[in-house]
Amino acid sequence: MLDEPVTRQMEYLKRLYESRFNPQERKAKLALWKVLVKNFLQNHVTVNDTVLDIGGGYCEFINQIRSKNKYLIDINPDAKVFANPDVTVLNLNILSINEQQKLDIRFDKIFISNFFEHLNSAEELIEVLGFCYDILTPGGSLLVIQPNFKYSYKEYYDFIDHKLPITHLSLKELLETIGFRIDTLIPRFLPFSTKGRPASPTLLKIYLKFPIL
């Protein structure tokens, strides 16, 4: 059972994201995610993997990825509404040790997108990454897509729930300190936000073939 502060936060998140992305914008985002998963992320996930998506909100990644077992952790109650039947949704607060201990599964791949900037402090980021490290199988991988404060500092705080500034270098330093090995690091990967931008799956498909453009 979730405590009262977490329950309030869940309701807050529900209202916030309902107002931030209207149905048309969510549809446009989903079209982009389908391209991103098929043309890039699926290359890092096998069909036999057990995959966890942390903070996956509208399930754009976890619904599209092809893998044997699929899990989503998110305190947003809408997650269960948007998740496909083959996705197990867990409303866990991963910053709580007691909540972490409820998870006795190990994962081959963990995916996190646009989540770390919502944390309150570096200490919370350390807790989340340590949690990820502990629940990966030997040889497992953590896949992260994250706004880079180094290149988006002007717009970073235009969203009320953006709190923790992170660059690719600060994240790399922390990951390596925890024990991760960095296989791929792309400092400028995707636009900072899809909010207010025209969705172009075709252009994204071209970009993913030539990401240095």
CATH number, domain with residue 71:
3.40.50.150
Q: What pLDDT digit, counting tens, does each position of 48-105 carry?
A: 999 999 999 889 999 999 999 999 999 877 789 999 999 999 988 999 989 999 899 9
What are the CA-CA distances from residue 51 to residues 37, 94, 105, 180 (Å)?
A: 13, 16, 10, 18
Q: Which domain holds residue 174?
A: 4-209
Output the pLDDT for position 213: 43
User: What average pLDDT score do residues 2-22 get?
Assistant: 67
Confidence of residue 8 (pLDDT cuts 50, 70, 90): confident
Return the pLDDT at 46. Answer: 98
What whole-number distance in Å separates Cα of residue 122 and Cα of residue 199?
Answer: 33
For residue 66, the model assigns a pLDDT of 98
Q: How confident is the model at residue 23 (pLDDT cuts 50, 70, 90)?
A: confident
Q: What is the pLDDT of residue 196?
A: 43
pLDDT of residue 57: 80
Q: What is the pLDDT of residues 131-188, one digit of tens each?
A: 999 999 999 999 999 999 998 878 877 777 788 999 999 999 999 999 999 999 998 8
Q: How confident is the model at residue 198 (pLDDT cuts 50, 70, 90)?
A: very low
Instruction: Report the domain count for the chain.
Output: 1
